[in-house]
Amino acid sequence: MRKLSEKVGNILNGNLDFNTWFKSCVYNSERPIEFETSWQSIIMDFGLENNEWLSQMFQIREMWFQLI
């Protein structure tokens, strides 16, 4: 989450809807399928399909749960 604002740019970083939805996806998803569905919706709705950093974060998502 620390790098999110840097990686999505100023426009999305200042977008309250984006920030609320993204944080809810990361912190409030109770099941993997819920997280993955929400993540894909965010990526598509905010035009982030070509964001390499977010793609990499999604690929290593299993590691997130080991850190908690």
Structure confidence by residue, pLDDT tens digits, 31-66: 889 999 999 999 999 999 999 999 999 998 877 665
What pLDDT was estimated at residue 11? 87
33 half-sphere exposure, CB direction, 13 A CA radius: 0
| Total domains, the chain | 1
Domain residues for 12?
A: 4-67
What pLDDT was estimated at residue 21? 95
Q: How far apart are CA 24 and CA 32, in angstroms?
A: 13
